[in-house]
Chain A
Amino acid sequence: MSTTDMKGPESTGDAAVNEAVGHAAGAAPVAAQTTVDEADVPAAPELEEENLSLPGQETSAAHAALNRGARKRSFEVSDHEVPKSHVEEWRFTPLRRFAPLFQDVATDDSAVEYQVEVPEGASEPGTLAIGQAPRGTVLVPEDIASAIASARSEQALHLTAAKNGAYDAPFRIDIAGRGADRRGNGHIVLETEESSSAIFVLNHTGSAQYAQNVEMIIGDNSTMTVISLHDWDDDAIHIATHHARVGRDAKLKHVAVTLGGSAVRFNAIGEYGGPGGEIEKLGLYFSDEDQFFENRLFVDHSAPHCTSNVAYKGALQGKKARSVWVGDVLIRKEAEGTNTYELNRNLVLTEGARADSVPNLEIETGEIEGAGHAAATGRFDDEQLFYLRARGISELEARRLVVRGFFAEIIQQIDVPEIRERLSASIEDELARSMN
């Protein structure tokens, strides 16, 4: 059975909103591809792009370059080139700002401090040396920063939820940077064994130059929630690679929140070890003046009957506030019965900020349940502001109202109440700061 449902460009209400929506289920004919090409509606200063490749198409050189699954992976630092801006993978990234993280130099062991807290009943944190399984069984570096983080982390932190275990409280890792000029590397392995259920909270504060790998092994029939909070000081730079393998009938809920830091590039990869897996990736970012936040997501549908759902929302305000969101979904030939959707929304609050949003969908089988994506960047415009203020609402309160509403959908899905509250408060702070 195969059905096709494709929508062209969509504009809702506000003329400043450009929306590109793609939807494909089953083997879509060539005509549908044309529709999607037309959906590319760039409008300064935002940029919307959309790429969709479907089975039965000629594999051109451009397509081969797009194939996200074919990217080279290696533990050897020398196998990776120093990023260049003409490479697709790095074209949005301000390379000079991240430059310290491309240098293979010794880790300053006190650059970053870790504090680990495990819930009652859980085993104490362990360590894993380079090459000691399960370390390296899921995450194999695909860029130089990740390769350096791996090679320069002699011992990885290893947290495990035991088979059939369930915990009331989350596992917490507080990661505190001790200086913007200090170079730290880290490798963390999170594991939920068969039929267990656990929440892991990674909380990043302070400042450092920090390259980090987070490897997630989600055992069969287990449930893992990972909440990574990037609440760095304004001068921190951070490149993270999060790589998860979701076992048979297992679930991963992965939440990335980026509010602080000078430049943060977050690369989150999810793949499946067996059928019946579920991946949910949620993200929230708020980029202020001069902040650069990049989120790159990749869901690799490598097993049948798995689902994935991606929803990232970002707000931007201030001069040179930048965000990049690239969402790649690959549905491999063997991934029959896949159901996937990805969404990115950006809210540009002031002039001078820029959001780029690029969803990519590659489909190699016709036998899927559904695949869709949507990306849109909207402005908080003068008419909206006028409307709210004409009802007596002050400018600050009006912005609050809109931004709170915008993020509510993501925040409500974060399972730890205390983090929900903290996030709401942080967003208020961000807004209040910019209004003074």
Chain B
Amino acid sequence: MSILEIKNLHATVETPEGTKEILKGVDLTIKSGETHAIMGPNGSGKSTLAYAVAGHPKYQITQGEVSLDGEDVLEMSVDERARAGLFLAMQYPVEVPGVTVSNFLRTAKTAIDGEAPALRTWVKDMKGAMGDLRMDPAFAERNVNEGFSGGEKKRHEILQMQLLKPGIAILDETDSGLDVDALRIVSEGVNRAKESTEIGIMLITHYTRILQYVKPDFVHVFVNGQIAEQGGPELAERLENEGYDRYLVGSGS
């Protein structure tokens, strides 16, 4: 049972024009088994929320709290947050030359669990998860994200989520740029993780399409660094029909 609590979170970033506040008081609680869709226009700060919670050094937290199961996340280093059970599927995963997928996954699994996984079950788990995501076994011997297509990168992110079994996963625009087939495969992966573990999910997206495949329990509309409105799945339908214009009136965008 995990619970991620974000309270009044403010974050800034340094830009050439000076310090800019991106998050302006975010309140959000995600529990095991829940799927929260965070939807909003470009530039609203959705991705900043994801990276700030994961601990990216680019963002300064100026106010507020983030806790995971009562532990202060903001006090933890990036890797400590991951070991505490947080996972961030990135929008733009980076290449790691010379490091194979299989070596990377095993190293990450060992770090998260605090001990090396038993070889036999690990190989089986990895093969099974890769098969589920329709990834060729040869994929394991390629270097991390090197020469991966957009769809391969996203499947690789979901593969990691499946194997590392985090308590709370933040999926940052995992659906962006995917064709329908790839989106379906990735969504199935997310749903499998939901069925097989108690994972809580923060699903950050710009588009409503993925919500046809991954059903959210809650929908939050993110505008100008804050949650502007929240509701159930019906809110997504409304956004589908009306877009974000309603929220942007008067916000200066």
A residues in contact (CB < 8 Å) with B: 12-14, 378, 382-384, 386-395, 397, 401-402, 404-409
Q: Is B90 an interface residue (CB 8 A)?
A: yes
Q: Is B43 an interface residue (CB 8 A)?
A: no
Q: Quick check: B96 and A401 within 8 Å, CB to CB?
A: yes
Q: Quick check: B94 and A383 within 8 Å, CB to CB?
A: yes
Q: Report Cα–Cα, A13/B95, bound state, in Å.
A: 7
Q: Give 23 A-B contacts (CB < 8 Å), ordered by A residue.
A: A13-B145, A382-B57, A383-B94, A384-B96, A386-B57, A386-B78, A387-B93, A387-B94, A387-B96, A388-B104, A390-B54, A390-B55, A390-B82, A391-B108, A392-B79, A393-B79, A393-B82, A393-B111, A402-B99, A405-B100, A406-B98, A407-B98, A409-B98
Q: Quick check: A391 and B98 within 8 Å, CB to CB?
A: no
Q: Is B3 an interface residue (CB 8 A)?
A: no
Kindly list chain A residues whose C-beta atoms are within 8 Å of the C-beta of B164: 391-392
Kindly list chain A residues whose C-beta atoms are within 8 Å of the C-beta of B100: 405
Given contacts A391-B82, A393-B108, 16 further A-B pairs with CB under 8 A are: A387-B96, A390-B81, A390-B88, A391-B79, A391-B108, A391-B160, A392-B164, A394-B111, A401-B96, A401-B107, A404-B99, A405-B98, A405-B99, A405-B143, A406-B98, A407-B98
Residue in chain A with minimal CB distance to B81: A390
Q: Report Cα–Cα, A408/B141, bound state, in Å.
A: 14
A202 to chain B, nearest CB (A): 27
| In the complex, chain B residues 80-121 whose Cβ is within 8 Å of any chain A Cβ | 81-83, 87-88, 90, 93-100, 103-104, 107-108, 111-112
Q: Quick check: A391 and B57 within 8 Å, CB to CB?
A: no
Q: Quick check: B97 and A378 within 8 Å, CB to CB?
A: yes
Q: Report Cα–Cα, A401/B78, bound state, in Å.
A: 17
B84 to chain A, nearest CB (A): 9
Q: Quick check: A390 and B98 within 8 Å, CB to CB?
A: no
Known: A402-B98, A405-B97. A387 touches B108 (CB 8 A): no
B78 is contacted by which of A13, A14, A378, A390 (Cβ under 8 Å)? A390
Kindly list chain B residues whose C-beta atoms are within 8 Å of the C-beta of A407: 98
Residue in chain B with minimal CB distance to A408: B98
Kindly list chain B residues whose C-beta atoms are within 8 Å of the C-beta of A394: 79, 111
Q: Quick check: B79 and A395 within 8 Å, CB to CB?
A: yes
A337 to chain B, nearest CB (A): 33
Kindly list chain A residues whose C-beta atoms are within 8 Å of the C-beta of B99: 401-402, 404-405
| In the complex, chain B residues 132-146 whose Cβ is within 8 Å of any chain A Cβ | 143, 145-146
Q: Is B8 an interface residue (CB 8 A)?
A: no
B52 to chain A, nearest CB (A): 12
Residue in chain A with minimal CB distance to B89: A390
A406 to chain B, nearest CB (A): 5
Q: Report Cα–Cα, A357/B6, bound state, in Å.
A: 49
Q: Report Cα–Cα, A201/B145, bound state, in Å.
A: 38
Kindly list chain A residues whose C-beta atoms are within 8 Å of the C-beta of B191: none
Q: Quick check: A389 and B77 within 8 Å, CB to CB?
A: yes
Q: Is B209 an interface residue (CB 8 A)?
A: no
Q: Quick check: B107 and A393 within 8 Å, CB to CB?
A: yes
Q: Report Cα–Cα, A110/B188, bound state, in Å.
A: 72
